[in-house]
Structures are given as structure tokens and as C-alpha cells.
């Protein structure tokens, strides 16, 4: 059963049951939408799939009220996937835009989404209507109509079952993103402050640099022979020319090629300045919410990122501020479980080469991927050197033809012809200006201005660059799908087998191919079993009886910077 739902902005809303995609009952108006969804979700042995315009506009209020749903169909995410499949990535995909296309009306632009504001972002009584429907249009009728149209478009695709799975897990990811943002990653503000003070010195006042950065800036000036602002690329570039080492940019890899005493100082300054700006005290105050606790002792906190599901064209997630997908090693020691709780970390190592083995049906690579360590299995083919085996395979996957990788390419092509043919074909498609698809049907965006690209003086270079993009896309997008299926399967496992998980327990962090759970000590073993079952289910759902293994590196720990 499916139920279409729209909120009225005052705590109530309207609902309509659907049989497949067709209305199956009258419209019901309720004064308390949270209570109604809670009753339906908890009182039915088979909870419905909720159909709504956008998860972020309705689900946060439900989660804050303690209501978590099992399944949904997110119309906006689905529309984006369908437009992408039709090579129309750049068209608006809100409910209003989808409805306007159905009616051959002018298509409105998508609304501008506000940047995340960390834990302070607490809207009340559901988000404002951002559907972009014309005034007077019945939102529930439009939602049902667009949902029906999406179902028809999916059914007409070459592999509708696969694409339906992509739609389902993308929507499940939207649910998980809201839940993780609400629960937050356990974070110790006092430990974060201690780390910053140890590395940078005490927190500065009056807008100055931290002590360590100020000392580094002074030493850089002494070595150069005059004052230099290390935060200014222009000043650093002029300083390098002054000392007889002109550089084309101040990127770290460019500076590393210069043999001069100032370079280590500049590189260290860049490293610490990034920590200060990206994860310093201001970040801590913005993104980490301290919990109210009774008694003395350190006060735990929660890092609450604002995730953007499918924010990257490959299907990987992004964030609106907070940098959740790039937590630097320097501050990972602040991620600590609460007393009596643990972190369960599950990391899918060597995911992309394993995905390629399953995608390409290359028997030899699949045999290597049946081992716990794929690269160790390849090492015998390159003189027993595991690192060379890794370099060779990754170079073959991603089209690297220079440096240490070049001599290994011929070996990889001989050993794994079907795998290399798979990515070579994707590259040729990209070089011709075409699009490619992931296993479930996520589609690469077409290059803009292709005619001008091929006619440009550097047209060959641009074609090859797009070929490398499509070569990478088929593997990276499918790897992102594997991670999404795992996330969806794990949500279901926790709901089915750990119903007594306390509030705030469960999945609290997700980045590319790693999932982190925060659970009470006494539920750790059952949580690990749930993760393993989810991994098995993910492999079976995506690739059937493929011999390729996708082992998870599982650890139970009290802090994120330790295994």
C-alpha cells in the first residue's frame, strides 16, 4: 500500500491511499499529521510506502516527534533520476516542475535551498511549501498525478526493476539522512577544544591568528627576508619568485617540488590554517550541539551535518556546510561514544575494483575479488608485489597511462580483458560525447557545448578528459549504489531485529563506503550481526549469485580515531 501525503503547514495535512499509483480511497484531512502517521506506521503489520514531494520538507518534523517511517517515495529525488536517465540533468525537478511538464506549462525553476545552519536549524510544523506549484493548484492532486506519471516512465525503461530499486534506495537514503542529522555523530566538544589548543595554541581573540599560526607566519617572513601573508596566494607567489623559486601556483603539490627551507613552513601553515578555518572553534560552535546531562564530567555533544543525498552526479552524497564527508584525522579523536555505548564501524574496503569485477563479469577478476584482500590475490601476477598490483589495477580502472602505472597496464589488460573492456567502452562513449549508466541506471550528465568542445584547439584533450569521467562514472556510480543499498538494508535490519534500540541509537554517520553506528554496549554483538546480514542482502539484491565478495572491515570501539 502507498499513501500520498501533503502537510498544511499548521501541523495537519491530507492523505490519500493509492493502489499502485492510482487513488484507492477518498482524501482524508487530519488535524495532527504526526499522530496520524505514527498510528498508521506502528499499527500496521505492513507499513505503507509514503509518497511525498520532498523528504526534507516533511520528515524532519516526524523524526523530532519520535516517528520513523520504514519506506517512502521521494518525488523530487525520483524526478531528478528520471530526468538524468533521459540526459536532461539540468532541468528543474521539484514537484511543481514535474507537474508543469505534464501540463505543457512553463516550468518553474527549482527553489533555492537554504544553506545548513548546523544544530540551530529547527523549523516548526513542517517545512514551507517549496513545490513551486502555481497558486490554487491542489498539492495532493498534483502529487498523485506526478507519482503516477513517474511510475509509467519507470515501467517504460529498458531495466525497470533495476531503476525501481535505485528509486527506492535513493528515497531510503533521504530518510536515513534526516535521521542521522537529527541523532548526530557523538562528539566531545571538550576534546575537540583540547585538540585545537594543543595543535594551534589557545583560541585567539580579536580576530587574530592562533599562536602557532602566528609563529609560523613570522618564521616564513624571516626565511624569505620580508613579511609575507601566508593566507595570500599572491604574496606567497611573489615571495617564491623573490627567493629564486618561481611557481605557477601555491598548491601543495607544486610547492613540494621546490627545495627550499621555506617550503616545509608553508606546507605546515597551509595544513593548520585549513584545520582552523574548516574545523576550528567557530565550526565547533556552529555544528556540534552539546547535550544536557545531569551530574559532573564531560558533556557529550552531537555533530549534526546537513546531508545532500545524491549531491554529486555519481550518486555520492554531499553536505550543506559542516564538511561531514571530510572529517580530518586531526579532530577524529573528538568522536567518542557515550558512556556505556560503543561505535560500530563498517568500512567496505576495495569497493570499486570489486564493483568492476561484478559489473564486467570478468571471471579472473571475480576470482581475485572472492578473496578477503583483492590486491594480495593479484600480487602473484606482478612478482608478488601487492602495492604494484594495486597501482596497476587502479590505473587500468581510471585510465592512468603515465608514471609507475604505465608498465603494468599491459599486464592488467592481459589478465582481466573483460573488466578493462568494460571501462574502455565507457571511455570511448565519453570521448564521443555520449552518456553512460550505472548498474541500476543512474546516468552521467551529457557534456555541455560539445560541438564547441570538439572544435576547440585543445579539443582532443577535452574529449579524453570526458572519456576519463565516463570511464570512472560507471564504476563510481555503481559503488555509490552498493553503499545506498547497504544503508537501506541496514535500516531494515535494525528495525526488524533491534526494535528495542534506544532513542538516538543506530546509524549516525555515512560517508561514501563507510557506515558508523552508535549503540549501547549490550547491543554491539547483535548490531554487528545485523551489519553482516545487510552486507549479504546488498550483494544478493545487486548482483545475484556473483562470486564477488564485498567484505566489510568491522570494528567495535569507543572512539573514531581508533580501530
**Structural domain boundaries enclosing 238:** 194-281
Angle at 310 between CA 165 and CA 179, to 5 degrees: 85
| Contact between 93 and 74 (Cβ < 8 Å) | no
Q: Does 90 lie in the same domain as 1?
A: yes
What is the distance between the alpha carbons of residues 558 and 562, in angstroms, rounded to a whole number? 8
146-198 pLDDT tens trace: 999 999 999 999 999 999 999 999 999 999 999 999 999 999 999 999 999 99
What is the distance between the alpha carbons of residues 327 and 330, in angstroms, rounded to a whole number? 8
Q: Does 199 lie in the same domain as 150?
A: no
How many CA atoms are closer than 13 Å to the CA of 38, on its beta-carbon side?
11
* Dihedral sign from CA coordinates of 201, 202, 205, 207: positive
What is the distance between the alpha carbons of residues 70 and 179, in angstroms, rounded to a whole number? 12
Q: Does 213 lie in the same domain as 149?
A: no
Q: 429-456 burial, b if ≥16 CB within 10 A, otherwise e?
A: bbbebbbbbbbbbbbbebbeebeebeee
Residue at 217 is within a domain:
yes
Q: Which residues partner with 553 through β-bridges? A: 347
What is the distance between the alpha carbons of residues 359 and 315, in angstroms, rounded to a whole number? 17
Residue at 498 is within a domain:
no
**Which DSSP symbol is given to 447?**
P
Structure confidence at residue 123 (pLDDT): 52
Residue at 244 is within a domain:
yes
In this structure, the number of other CB atoms found within 10 A of the CB of residue 258 comes to 15
Residue at 326 is within a domain:
no
Q: Does 143 lie in the same domain as 208?
A: no
Beta strands 49-52 and 341-348 are unpaired
Q: Does 27 lie in the same domain as 127?
A: yes
Q: Could you tell me where the beta strands, DSSP code E, fall in 335-491?
A: 341-348
Is pLDDT of 320 > 80? yes
Three-state SS sequence of 185-221: EEECHHHHHHHHHHHHCCCCCCCCCCHHHHHHHHHHH
Largest CA distance in the chain: 80
Q: Does 1 lie in the same domain as 137?
A: yes
- For residue 261, give the CATH number of its domain: 1.20.1060.10
Residue linked to cell 525497470: 160
Residue at 554 is within a domain:
no
Cell matching residue 149: 506519471
Residue at 511 is within a domain:
no
Is pLDDT of 117 > 50? no
Is pLDDT of 118 > 50? no
Domain edge (last residue) among 134, 156, 178: 156
Structure confidence at residue 119 (pLDDT): 43
Domain edge (last residue) among 475, 497, 521: 475
Look at the chain and report how many structural domains it folds into: 3
| Contact between 524 and 506 (Cβ < 8 Å) | no
Residue 127 pLDDT level (bands cut at 50, 70, 90): low
Is pLDDT of 294 > 80? no
Residue at 534 is within a domain:
no
For the segment 336-349, the average pLDDT, to the nearest whole number, is 95
324/308: higher pLDDT: 308
Domain edge (last residue) among 475, 492, 520: 475
The structure's pTM equals 0.93
- For residue 416, give the CATH number of its domain: 1.10.150.20
56-102 pLDDT tens trace: 999 999 999 999 999 999 999 999 999 999 999 999 999 999 999 99
User: Please, which residues have CB within 8 angstroms of residue 406's CB and are 6 or more apart in sequence?
Assistant: 395
Residue at 172 is within a domain:
no
Is pLDDT of 405 > 80? no
Is pLDDT of 116 > 60? no
Nearest to 276 by CA among 377, 208, 178: 208
Structure confidence at residue 125 (pLDDT): 63
Residue linked to cell 554517520: 509
Is pLDDT of 435 > 90? yes
What is the distance between the alpha carbons of residues 300 and 287, in angstroms, rounded to a whole number? 13
Q: 44-60 burial, b if ≥16 CB within 10 A, otherwise e?
A: eeebbbbbbbbbbbbbb
Q: Does 145 lie in the same domain as 229?
A: no
> Residues, the chain, total?
563
Task: Based on DSSP, count helices (H) and strands (E) in the chain, helices before strands.
Answer: 21, 15
> What is the distance in angstroms between the CA of the first residue and the CA of the last residue of the chain?
43
H-helix segments, 121-159: 139-155
Q: Does 204 lie in the same domain as 148?
A: no
Q: Is 231 exposed, middle or buried (0-12, 13-18, 19+ CB in 10 A)?
A: middle
Amino acid at each position: 500500500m502507498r499513501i500520498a501525503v501533503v502537510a498544511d503547514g499548521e501541523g495537519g495535512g491530507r492523505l490519500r491511499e493509492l493502489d499502485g499509483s492510482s487513488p484507492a480511497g477518498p482524501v482524508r484531512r487530519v488535524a495532527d499529521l504526526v499522530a496520524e502517521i505514527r498510528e498508521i506506521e506502528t499499527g500496521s503489520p505492513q507499513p505503507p510506502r509514503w509518497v511525498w514531494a520532498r523528504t526534507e520538507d516533511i520528515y524532519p518534523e516526524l523524526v523530532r516527534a519520535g516517528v520513523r517511517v520504514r519506506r517512502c517515495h521521494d518525488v523530487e529525488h525520483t524526478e531528478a533520476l528520471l530526468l538524468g536517465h533521459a540526459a536532461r540533468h539540468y532541468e528543474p525537478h521539484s514537484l511543481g516542475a514535474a507537474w508543469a511538464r505534464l501540463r505543457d506549462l512553463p516550468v518553474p525553476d527549482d527553489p533555492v535551498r537554504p544553506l545548513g545552519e548546523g544544530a540551530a536549524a529547527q523549523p516548526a510544523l513542517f517545512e514551507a511549501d517549496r513545490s513551486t506549484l502555481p497558486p490554487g493548484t491542489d498539492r495532493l492532486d498534483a502529487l498523485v498525478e506526478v507519482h503516477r506519471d513517474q511510475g509509467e516512465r519507470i515501467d517504460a525503461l529498458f531495466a525497470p526493476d533495476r531503476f525501481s530499486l535505485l528509486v527506492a534506495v535513493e528515497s531510503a537514503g533521504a530518510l536515513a539522512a534526516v535521521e542521522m542529522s537529527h541523532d548526530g555523530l557523538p562528539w566531545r566538544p571538550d576534546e575537540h577544544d583540547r585538540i585545537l589548543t594543543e595543535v594551534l595554541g589557545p583560541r585567539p581573540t580579536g580576530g587574530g591568528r592562533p599562536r602557532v599560526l602566528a609563529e609560523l607566519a613570522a618564521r616564513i617572513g624571516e626565511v624569505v627576508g620580508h613579511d609575507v601573508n601566508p593566507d595570500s596566494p599572491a604574496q606567497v607567489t611573489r615571495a617564491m619568485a623573490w627567493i629564486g623559486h618561481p611557481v605557477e601556483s601555491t598548491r601543495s603539490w607544486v610547492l613540494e617540488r621546490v627545495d627550499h627551507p621555506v617550503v616545509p613552513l608553508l606546507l605546515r601553515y597551509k595544513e593548520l590554517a585549513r584545520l582552523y578555518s574548516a574545523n576550528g572553534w567557530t565550526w565547533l560552535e556552529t555544528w556540534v550541539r552539546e547535550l544536557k546531562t545531569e551530574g559532573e564530567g564531560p558533556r557529550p555533544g552531537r555533530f549534526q551535518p546537513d546531508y545532500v543525498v545524491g549531491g554529486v552526479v555519481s550518486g555520492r552524497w554531499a553536505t550543506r556546510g559542516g564538511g561531514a564527508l571530510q572529517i580530518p584525522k586531526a579532530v577524529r579523536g573528538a568522536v567518542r561514544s557515550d558512556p556505556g555505548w560503543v561505535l560500530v564501524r563498517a568500512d567496505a574496503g576495495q569497493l570499486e575494483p570489486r564493483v568492476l569485477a561484478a559489473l564486467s563479469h570478468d571471471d579472473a577478476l571475480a576470482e581475485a575479488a572472492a578473496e578477503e584482500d583483492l590486491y594480495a590475490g593479484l600480487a602473484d601476477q606482478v612478482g608478488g608485489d601487492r602495492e604494484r598490483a594495486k597501482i596497476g589495477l587502479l590505473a587500468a580502472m581510471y585510465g592512468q597511462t603515465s608514471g609507475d602505472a604505465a608498465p603494468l597496464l599491459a599486464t592488467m589488460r592481459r589478465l582481466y580483458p573483460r573488466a578493462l573492456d568494460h571501462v574502455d567502452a565507457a571511455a570511448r562513449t565519453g570521448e564521443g560525447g555520449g552518456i553512460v549508466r550505472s548498474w541500476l541506471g543512474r546516468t552521467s550528465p551529457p557534456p555541455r557545448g560539445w560541438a564547441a568542445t570538439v572544435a576547440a584547439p585543445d579539443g582532443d584533450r577535452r574529449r579524453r578528459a570526458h572519456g576519463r569521467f565516463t570511464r570512472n562514472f560507471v564504476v563510481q556510480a555503481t559503488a555509490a549504489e552498493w553503499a545506498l543499498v547497504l544503508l537501506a538494508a541496514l535500516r531494515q535490519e535494525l528495525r526488524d531485529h533491534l526494535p528495542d534500540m534506544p532513542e538516538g541509537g543506530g546509524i549516525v554517520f555515512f560517508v561514501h563506503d563507510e557506515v558508523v553506528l552508535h549503540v549501547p554496549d549490550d547491543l554491539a554483538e547483535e548490531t554487528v550481526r545485523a551489519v553482516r546480514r545487510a552486507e549479504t542482502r546488498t550483494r544478493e539484491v545487486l548482483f545475484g549469485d556473483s562470486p564477488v565478495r564485498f567484505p566489510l572491515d568491522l570494528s567495535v570501539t569507543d572512539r573514531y580515531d581508533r580501530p
